[in-house]
């Protein structure tokens, strides 16, 4: 089975069986990173370009490690050292890179829709590594994998996504992803952070933190991304934290085996208290580990690795 598209631009357009394929492929690649020799020859001789217009440690590193563990050549281009300062259009940058025959371009950009625009210009697969407040599909896939690993399935589970829903591409991708995979999704945050009509995506919305917590199997705390807000959406960080930050007191209303996710990087003491971030229900580091496996799966399914390679790599 294969994906029904050449690119991974968002979760919105994926069908459930494609998500399942991505997750099961990721599961099969996961053990590669636990080996002493963390490398499969699957994508040897393929060139993967990481084109990052926004700074990133974890996402760029995760894609780079995933590429290298598949034996692909990874080329990093970050905006600060690139000729985009010279005023070249995005399309020209894309066509020029394509002319060097990469097998995949991973792109992060502050403008929503940039990866889709690129994908129209390019014959090679494009992977969205986060575009504005639109989507961050590999993040949603790793979140789905993390929950599925713990609960066996996402069908019928209740997940609440809490924070600045309006500006969060992580929220958007996860609403699509968990809804498609059978979960009941609630989004929560102060009124200024809940976009009107968000329910149309298939989720419930509430401004009540207690309502979001009660009965949820999974709580996904979002990072307060003050750098992406044109104007402050709440009076102060302290005020936000008091009302919507997850701490021991608020957690008492939760199910006793609730799972806690956060896409990172975390603001300790703002949206999540340190004891909870490091506590027994936190899956934050599992998410990061699963991120590498999910990105290996994305590359594998989009690039169509050499079959012998995979056999040798995954089965051996």
- Name the residue nearer to a second copy (CB basis): 34 or 231: 34
Dihedral (C-alpha) 14, 17, 18, 23: value to the nearest 10 degrees? Answer: 120
Q: Is 236 in the site for a second copy (CB under 8 A)?
A: no
Q: Which of 159, 152, 157, 110 is nearest to 134 (CA)?
A: 110
| Cα dist from 226 to 19, 59, 108, 144, 231, whole Å | 31, 19, 19, 26, 9
| Residues 101-160 contacting a second copy, CB under 8 A | 101-103
Q: What is the nearest approach in angstroms of a second copy to the Cβ of residue 140?
A: 18
Alpha-carbon span 61 to 282, nearest angstrom = 22
Report helix, strand or coil for 52.
strand
Q: Is 191 in the site for a second copy (CB under 8 A)?
A: no
Alpha-carbon span 224 to 215, nearest angstrom = 24
- Name the residue nearer to a second copy (CB basis): 90 or 201: 90
Q: Scanning the structure block, which residue is given the tokens 């994305």?
A: 298
Q: What is the nearest approach in angstroms of a second copy to the Cβ of residue 280?
A: 15
Alpha-carbon span 313 to 190, nearest angstrom = 47
Q: Is 314 in the site for a second copy (CB under 8 A)?
A: no
- Name the residue nearer to a second copy (CB basis): 102 or 195: 102
Q: Is 286 in the site for a second copy (CB under 8 A)?
A: yes
Residue selected from 80, 196, 256, 315 as contacting a second copy according to rule CB under 8 A = 80
Q: Is 85 in the site for a second copy (CB under 8 A)?
A: yes
CB 290 within 8 A of CB 142: yes
Residues making contact with a second copy (CB under 8 A) = 33-39, 44-47, 49, 52, 55-58, 60-62, 64-65, 68-69, 73, 75, 77-78, 80-89, 92-93, 95-103, 227, 264-268, 285-289, 291-292, 306
């Amino acid at each position: 089975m294969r994906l029904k598209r050449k690119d991974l631009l968002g979760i919105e357009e994926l069908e459930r069986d494609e998500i399942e394929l991505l997750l099961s492929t990721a599961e099969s690649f996961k053990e590669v990173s636990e080996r002493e020799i963390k490398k499969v020859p699957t994508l040897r001789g393929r060139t993967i370009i990481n084109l990052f217009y926004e700074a990133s440690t974890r996402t760029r590193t995760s894609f780079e490690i995933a590429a290298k563990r598949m034996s692909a050549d990874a080329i990093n281009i970050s905006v600060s050292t690139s000729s985009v300062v010279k005023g070249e259009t995005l399309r020209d940058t894309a066509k020029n890179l394509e002319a060097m025959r990469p097998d995949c371009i991973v792109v992060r950009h502050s403008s929503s829709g940039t990866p889709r625009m690129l994908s129209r210009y390019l014959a090679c697969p494009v992977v969205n590594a986060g575009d504005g407040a639109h989507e961050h599909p590999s993040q949603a896939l790793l979140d789905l994998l993390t929950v599925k690993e713990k609960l066996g399935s996402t069908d019928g589970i209740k997940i609440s996504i809490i924070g600045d829903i309006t500006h969060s591409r992580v929220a958007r991708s996860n609403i699509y992803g968990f809804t498609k995979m059978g979960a009941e999704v609630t989004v929560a945050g102060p009124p200024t952070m809940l976009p009107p009509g968000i329910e149309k995506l298939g989720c419930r919305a509430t401004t009540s933190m207690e309502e979001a917590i009660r009965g949820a199997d999974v709580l996904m705390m979002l990072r307060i991304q003050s750098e992406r807000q044109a104007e402050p959406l709440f009076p102060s960080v302290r005020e936000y934290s008091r009302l919507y930050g997850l701490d021991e007191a608020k957690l008492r209303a939760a199910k006793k085996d609730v799972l806690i996710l956060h896409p990172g990087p975390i603001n300790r003491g703002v949206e999540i208290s340190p004891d909870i971030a490091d506590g027994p229900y936190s899956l934050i580091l599992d998410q990061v580990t699963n991120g590498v496996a999910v990105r290996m799966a994305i590359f594998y399914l989009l690039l169509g690795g050499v079959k012998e390679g995979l056999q040798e790599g995954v089965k051996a």
